[in-house]
Amino acid sequence: MRRGHRTPATRTRAAATAGGVRRARAARRTAGPLRGAVAAGAVAALLAAAALALAPLLTGCGGGGTGGGQAQGGRLAVVASFSVLADITANVAGDRATVTSLVPPGADPHEYQPSPRDLQRVAEADLLVVNGGGLEGRLLDALEAAGSQVPVVVASRGIPPRTPQPGEPPLAAGEVDPHFWLDPVLVKRYVATIRDALVRADPAGADTYIANAAAYGRVLDRLDRWIRRQVATIPPARRTLVMDHASHGYFADEYGFRVVGTVLPGVGTDEAPSAQRLAGLVTTIRREGVKAVFVEAGENPDLARQVAREAGVRLVDDLPDHSLTGRDGPAPTYVAMMKFTTRRIVEALR
């Protein structure tokens, strides 16, 4: 049986790993021989260039020389657990870092199992960004077992997990809803946390990270206002959601929806529903006058299709909200993904 999310234990582990960020940072300041050599080489090269002609370059170097030396010789290597997080991180990192995602586009982060190659990529990274809330339980377990020293930042750190609204399916004991990213207002918290982690990993880039985070914050503000305008076109009584799994709680809280049911129990995609649950969901959809059932792209839509058919409502099965698409798809970025998802929801419920 696959495991759900949840577990205070996982959260504690994530927090403990984040504590490892501090240890790793301290270790980096005292610089191992290799890093020290790289940093010294880069500083020497900069000084030589400055001496040649451009004195102003020196002031541009900031406090270079201690910490973050690797960023002067090349870009930071940052690994994010899944594509949504990678795009958010890349917006903050700008051109000072190369940001890659462990879970490839189109794959379900709930089902992710790190491969040995993934663990190697993490081991070679300067920073690992995870969502938290139990989403990366298997990855963090594997890193802990491998004695990983890579700094880890939990993007959702400090965001209180939601409790289901009255009438929503309850969570299992200890289960945490990890889908904070489907609320752009909460993603601004991610941005601040990621910014601070990048500044710690690469102090020389602080001004860049702070400016990028502020600019992306304004993008998220515009996205938030755009979503509100779209949602306002749905009659209030129709702002009800039936999802494949409990993915849209934070979105619902922010934009005034009620999540009246889910096909799968819980906040993950790994538990099968009983026939009784499905029959109950059909009854709920009819009683509440729900207009559609929504499923993430890449998930098997068979059960949701069955429910939608029996209830006589629409099935929307292409929400890319757990995984961005490639450049040619409808959701190559977080902002494009949120707009596409919102449009699909609004069209179906209006």
Closer to Zn ion by Cβ: residue 62 or 106 = 106
Span interacting with Zn ion, options 36-44, 158-166, 239-247, 297-305, rule CB under 5 A: 239-247
Alpha helices in the chain (DSSP H): 8-29, 33-52, 55-60, 69-73, 83-93, 116-123, 137-145, 184-201, 206-231, 249-255, 275-288, 302-311, 334-349
Question: How many Cα atoms within 13 Å fall on the side-chain side of residue 6?
Answer: 15
Measured from the CB atom, is 84 or 292 closer to Zn ion?
84
**C-beta of 90: minimal distance to Zn ion in Å?**
22
Q: Which is nearer to Zn ion, 126 or 321 (CB)?
A: 321
Site string for Zn ion, 35-64 (x = CB under 5 A): ------------------------------
Q: Rounded to the nearest whole angstrom, what is the least distance from the CB of residue 130 to Zn ion in the complex?
A: 15
Q: Are 42 and 73 in contact (CB under 8 A)?
A: yes
CB nearer to Zn ion: pick between 125 and 135: 135
Residue 272 CB, shortest distance to Zn ion, in Å, is 16
DSSP 162: P
Cβ-in-10-Å burial (0-12, 13-18, 19+) of 100 comes to: middle
Give the range of 74-82, 180-188, 211-219, 246-254 binding Zn ion by CB under 5 A.
Answer: 246-254
Closer residue to Zn ion (CB): 17 or 247: 247
Quick one: DSSP state of residue 175?
A: -
For the bound state, the minimum distance from the C-beta of residue 269 to Zn ion, rounded and expressed in Å, comes to 6
> 233: which 2 tokens?
């076109």
Part in contact with Zn ion (CB under 5 A); list of ranges 6-14, 73-81, 245-253, 326-334: 245-253
- Give the total of residues touching Zn ion (CB under 5 A): 1
Which of 71/345 has CB closer to Zn ion?
Answer: 345
Kindly state the tokens that stand for 317: 């099965």
Q: Which range touches Zn ion (CB under 5 A), out of 164-172, 225-233, 244-252, 325-333?
A: 244-252
Q: Does 208 bind Zn ion (CB under 5 A)?
A: no
CA–CA dist 260, 78 (Å, integer): 38
Q: How far is the CB of 255 from Zn ion (least distance, A)?
A: 18
C-beta nearest to Zn ion: residue: 247
| Residue 88 vs residues 193, 336, 339: alpha-carbon distances, Å | 11, 12, 15
Measured from the CB atom, the residue of 247 and 342 that comes closer to Zn ion is 247
Three-class secondary structure of residue 326 per DSSP: coil
Rounded to the nearest whole angstrom, what is the least distance from the CB of residue 299 to Zn ion in the complex? Answer: 9
Task: Answer yes or no: are the C-beta atoms of 175 and 45 closer than 8 Å.
Answer: no
In the complex with Zn ion, which residue's Cβ is closer, 5 or 200? 5
- On whether the CB atoms of residues 205 and 96 are closer than 8 A, the answer is yes
Does position 247 interact with Zn ion (CB under 5 A)? The reply is yes
Our finding on whether 156 is near Zn ion (CB under 5 A) is no
Structure tokens at 73: 């010789």
CB 282 within 8 A of CB 311: yes
Q: How far is the CB of 21 from Zn ion (least distance, A)?
A: 26
For residue 262, give both structure tokens.
């889910």
Q: Which residues bind Zn ion (CB under 5 A)?
A: 247
